[in-house]
Chains A and B, each alone.
Chain A
Amino acid sequence: MKKLYVTALVLPLLSFAAVTGAQNLPPGDPVKGEVVYTRYCVSCHGELGNGAGEVAEWITPKPRDYRQGTFKWRSTPSGSLPLDSDLDKTIRDGVYGTFMPPWYPIGEHSRRDVIAYIKTFSPRWKKEKPLEAIKIPPEPAYTEESVKRGRAVYEKSNCAQCHGQGALGDGPSAHDLKDDWGFPIVPYDLTEGHIKCGDTGPDIYRVFMTGLNGTPMPSFVDSISEAEAWDLVHYIQSLSPLYPKNVGVAAK
């Protein structure tokens, strides 16, 4: 019986360690990463990492061109390279509303290897290092008042110019926008109920405060406070019941 208890305790721990023990892995191997890239990525991102894979012509939004070292979804300040963990999150979870699927099943080792390979496409990775991740303060409770304040921030920051008064992505500038590669880019419909990079409060917070490199979406870190940023998060979350909301005790 004692052996059974020990086994019942040890086995789950081993399982947990097997999956999570990856936190302290060494950097990935770009040689192995090239095989991973060829298996999973090349049809969209192209053999040269230029986002011109065999299907790129027919899909919108276009696959990422890795040659400039410009990445949208980061935890680092605007203009900075992303951290490896940012790239891993994008690969692992996919990008909602695009043809980038969640590659969680391929495992962290393969993802690290392919990240190492992706970095070989841009000389920027040799010349500079990513800045530190921004600090995200604890999320306050989602309340009606924070939603109202958030609407005010939305208006003050002129979000409607692109995202529209109703946040449907139909603002006056919506049809004139282009990304850094010259492709038309449409402001996101924030009522969708899913954000491309993740639906949690911190995911949405990061978008305002780091901006989306390579797109017209700027960082608002210098124009809104952290409290205002959380209010804006709550306003966006109020636009659809699908967004998870941090309804704490204070909200009652």
Chain B
Amino acid sequence: MTRRTRVTITAWAALVALTLLTPAPAGAIPAFARKYGLRCTACHESWPKLNDFGRAFRDNGYQTLTGKDDTIFETPGYWPVAVRITPQYSYTKVTNQPTDEGTKDVGSGGIGQIGMDLLMAGVLFKNVSFLVVPTGFAPDGQVVLESAWVRFDNLFGSSWANFKLGRHEVDLPLSAHRPWNLSDTGYLIYSFHASGSQSTYDMGENQWGVEYMGHDRGSLNRVSVSVFNVQNSIPSQNFWSVPGVYAHATHEWLFENGVVSEAKLGVFGSYTTWPTTFLTSGGEPIAGGTLEPSTKIGGEGQIWFGPRATPFHLTLAYAHGEDNQALITDATRNGTFNGGFAELGWTFTLKNLIFARYDLCKNSQQGVVDAPQDLNNMNAITVGWRHTFQFSNRSEYALHVEYTSLQTIGAGDNGLNTRTNQYVVGIDFAY
């Protein structure tokens, strides 16, 4: 064996070694696989993204509705807990950063903090389901309750009457917590705001509130409305502190022509508020006053080509957004923007997925008249490959390789553009 070969092998071994990073987003829940005896592939198109059966299972309140859902049918040894960790090597480089030595590209890679997701989900009683996801558990001691909700399912015997209470993910076109990518580049349009907006509302971030959800058999038709308190804002003195509402409706067609297996169209929108005036104490804001709105409204189209067991899945999503001028410092008009993403995923075998996504968000009107038109515009390309080594009804683990490149206009030193390139190689465990 040559020295070069030894170095190569050692380098790859190091890359896939157990280097740990901040927790992966919540996603596949092997506890369900254990409860029903199914492999992860039964519910996940390519994990963690759900397929039709998984969506229907989730919409039914984590139930198959065949009389085996109630916890009293479980052996006492069954415990509805699953764990996900994603040890990975990650290298990130950002261009045009301000330093004392001038404008520099800054890069860093390697080991991050230890962390994991604990996923506890299932039914408390028939038609009462729950999800609790504490995430974190890194050496810094931080643990965040990413999800904590109870859902009353199939009220009055109808799949159109389901109510969820607690911290939950709103019903997004594609879940921000079940993306195929592990990099830091999420679906940009979910968090995007007009340039300079104070609001940090992120559609992809779980919110404390209430959700109504209804669906038909097989979840071909779905509607969801969430009403919540917008996270991370200073509470206001209103009856409903900092209110926000999100809604989503979809219709799905099934085809049997052997080329297109299914197609889905949907509309979604959010109306959220953010305080712009405050009561202060010692100069620090303690309670919000005037609330100003941000809106997003958009649509999605999804299409699955080929066999549904190994689909080629294309998703297009678009949204138009607007932030009130009062949210933007020195603004004389509202800031508006357009954006979305196009994502491809091909599960060419049950164990292999290749995926790619292009995100684009552009300001169409800056709130500050003199600001450059393209200030804070963002675009990103993400590509990756997942190879699942093994899956059973107990656990699953996969090799994950990914590259993402995110450009932000004018975000760098002296108004230069920045480009963030990130390389990820890791193992994704769920058990």
Please list 30 pairs of residues, one from A and one from B, whose beta carbons are closer than 8 Å in the complex, sorted by A's number: A18-B254, A19-B253, A25-B256, A39-B309, A40-B309, A43-B39, A43-B42, A53-B37, A54-B393, A58-B75, A95-B66, A96-B66, A98-B66, A99-B66, A101-B38, A101-B57, A101-B64, A101-B66, A102-B65, A103-B53, A105-B53, A105-B56, A105-B219, A106-B51, A106-B308, A109-B261, A109-B308, A113-B307, A192-B67, A194-B67
Minimum CB–CB distance from B266 to chain A (whole Å) comes to 15
Q: Which of A36, A54, A98, A107 contacts B262 (CB 8 A)?
A: A107
Report the Cα distance A21→B258, complex, angstroms.
13
Residue of A nearest to B263 (CB): A18
Chain B 68-122 residues near chain A, CB threshold 8 A: 68, 75
Question: Contact: A107 with B256, CB < 8 Å?
Answer: yes
Report the Cα distance A108→B254, complex, angstroms.
9
Say whether A22 faces chain B, with CB atoms less than 8 Å apart.
Answer: yes
Say whether B125 faces chain A, with CB atoms less than 8 Å apart.
Answer: no
Contacts of A35 in B (CB 8 A): 307, 309-310, 350
Question: Contact: A98 with B68, CB < 8 Å?
Answer: yes
Q: Known contacts being A97-B68, A194-B67, is A43 close to B52, with CB within 8 Å?
A: no
Question: Contact: A104 with B37, CB < 8 Å?
Answer: no
Q: Which of B39, B42, B57, B307 contacts A32 (CB 8 A)?
A: B307
Question: Contact: A104 with B307, CB < 8 Å?
Answer: no
Report the Cα distance A40→B217, complex, angstroms.
19
Contacts of B42 in A (CB 8 A): 39-40, 43
Q: Known contacts being A43-B39, A103-B53, is A18 close to B253, with CB within 8 Å?
A: yes
Residue of B nearest to A194 (CB): B67
Report the Cα distance A109→B305, complex, angstroms.
13
Report the Cα distance A75→B122, complex, angstroms.
36
Interface residues on B, range: 35 or more
Question: Contact: A21 with B68, CB < 8 Å?
Answer: no
Chain A 1-56 residues near chain B, CB threshold 8 A: 14-15, 18-19, 21-22, 25, 32, 35-36, 38-40, 42-44, 53-55
Question: Contact: B308 with A107, CB < 8 Å?
Answer: yes
Minimum CB–CB distance from A139 to chain B (whole Å) comes to 23
Question: Contact: B256 with A108, CB < 8 Å?
Answer: yes
Question: Contact: B37 with A39, CB < 8 Å?
Answer: no
Contacts of A194 in B (CB 8 A): 67
The 8 residue pairs across chains A and B that have the minimum distance between CB atoms: A55-B37, A105-B52, A101-B64, A22-B256, A35-B309, A105-B56, A39-B41, A105-B218
Chain A 54-104 residues near chain B, CB threshold 8 A: 54-55, 58-59, 94-104
Say whether A110 faces chain B, with CB atoms less than 8 Å apart.
Answer: yes
Q: Which of B57, B64, B68, B392 contacts A43 (CB 8 A)?
A: B392
Q: Known contacts being A96-B66, A110-B308, is A19 close to B37, with CB within 8 Å?
A: no
Interface string of B293-318 (1 = CB under 8 A from A): 00000000000000111100000000
Report the Cα distance A95→B66, complex, angstroms.
7
Say whether B389 faces chain A, with CB atoms less than 8 Å apart.
Answer: no
Minimum CB–CB distance from B379 to chain A (whole Å) comes to 34
Task: Report how many residues on chain A are interfacial, defined by Cβ distance under 8 Å.
Answer: 41
Minimum CB–CB distance from B209 to chain A (whole Å) comes to 28
Interface string of B205-227 (1 = CB under 8 A from A): 00000000000011100000000
Say whether B333 faces chain A, with CB atoms less than 8 Å apart.
Answer: no
Contacts of B55 in A (CB 8 A): 105
Contacts of A14 in B (CB 8 A): 253
Q: Known contacts being A40-B42, A113-B307, is A102 close to B64, with CB within 8 Å?
A: yes
Report the Cα distance A26→B210, complex, angstroms.
46
Minimum CB–CB distance from B363 to chain A (whole Å) comes to 35
Q: Which of the listed residues B251, B253, B308, B350 has the most CB atoms from chain A within 10 Å of its own CB?
A: B308
Q: Which of B218, B256, B262 contacts A104 (CB 8 A)?
A: B218
Q: Which of B219, B253, B308 contacts A15 (CB 8 A)?
A: B253
Minimum CB–CB distance from B108 to chain A (whole Å) comes to 40
Question: Contact: A40 with B254, CB < 8 Å?
Answer: no
Question: Contact: B67 with A109, CB < 8 Å?
Answer: no
Say whether B36 faces chain A, with CB atoms less than 8 Å apart.
Answer: yes
Chain B 276-334 residues near chain A, CB threshold 8 A: 307-310
Interface string of B240-273 (1 = CB under 8 A from A): 0000000000010111101001100000000000
Contacts of B253 in A (CB 8 A): 14-15, 18-19
Interface string of A95-133 (1 = CB under 8 A from B): 111111111111111100100000000000000000000
Question: Contact: B308 with A99, CB < 8 Å?
Answer: no
Residue of B nearest to A97 (CB): B67
Question: Contact: A44 with B256, CB < 8 Å?
Answer: no
Interface string of B349-378 (1 = CB under 8 A from A): 010000000000000000000000000000
